[in-house]
Amino acid sequence: MTDRIGLKNAGRIIVKIGTSTLNYPTGKLNIQRIECLVRQLADLNNRGKEILLVTSGAVGAGLARMNKKHKPDNVPEKQALAAIGQGILMHIYEKLFNEYGQTVAQVLLTKENSVRYSQYINSRNALLALLQMQVIPIINENDVVAVDQLKIGDNDTLSAIVASIVDADALILLTDIDGLYDKNPQLYPDAKFIEKITNITPKIERAAGGAGTKLGTGGMYTKIQAAKIATSSGVTMVIANGSRENILTDIIAGRNVGTIFPAREIHLKRRKSWLAFGKNIAGSITVDHGCELALVNNGSSILAAGITDFDGEFAAGNTVRVLTPDSREIARGIINYDSAVLAKIKGHNTGEFSSLITGKMYDEVIHRDNMVLMT
Q: Cα(362)–Cα(76) distance, rounded to whole angstroms?
A: 45
DSSP alpha helix (H) spans, the chain: 19-22, 31-46, 58-65, 75-99, 112-115, 117-132, 155-165, 202-207, 220-232, 247-252, 270-277, 289-298, 339-345, 353-356
**Same domain, residue pair 301 and 199:** no
* CATH at 363: 2.30.130.10
Torsion of CA 117, 125, 148, 59, to 10 degrees: 170
Is the separation of the CB atoms in 101 and 120 below 8 Å? no
From the list 23, 38, 36, the residue with the least C-alpha distance to 85 is: 23
Pairing of β 307-311 and β 281-287: antiparallel
The residue out of 272, 296, 320 marking a domain boundary is: 272
The residue out of 222, 255, 272 marking a domain boundary is: 272
**Same domain, residue pair 17 and 135:** yes
User: Length of the chain, please?
Assistant: 375
**Same domain, residue pair 188 and 308:** no
**Same domain, residue pair 263 and 128:** yes
Tens of pLDDT along the chain (375 residues)? 557 888 999 999 999 998 889 988 877 889 999 999 999 999 999 999 999 999 988 888 888 888 887 778 787 888 888 889 888 999 999 999 999 999 999 998 876 555 555 667 788 889 999 999 999 999 987 655 554 444 555 889 889 989 988 889 999 999 988 999 988 887 888 989 999 999 888 788 777 764 444 434 347 888 998 998 888 888 999 999 999 999 999 999 999 999 999 987 655 555 455 555 656 788 999 999 999 999 988 889 999 999 999 999 999 988 899 999 998 888 888 899 999 999 999 999 999 999 999 988 999 999 887 888 876
**Same domain, residue pair 178 and 289:** no
**Same domain, residue pair 139 and 12:** yes
The count of other CB atoms within 10 Å of the CB of residue 149 is 10
Number of structural domains found in the chain: 2
**Same domain, residue pair 267 and 295:** no
**Same domain, residue pair 149 and 51:** yes
**Same domain, residue pair 87 and 57:** yes
**Same domain, residue pair 211 and 160:** yes
The residue out of 229, 249, 272 marking a domain boundary is: 272
**Same domain, residue pair 349 and 295:** yes
* CATH at 197: 3.40.1160.10
Q: Cα(173)–Cα(17) distance, rounded to whole angstroms?
A: 6
101: left (phi over 0), alpha (psi -120 to 50) or beta: left
pTM of the shown model: 0.75
Measure Cα distances from 327 to 20, 283, 321 in Å: 33, 13, 10
**Same domain, residue pair 255 and 296:** no
Range of the domain at 216: 5-272
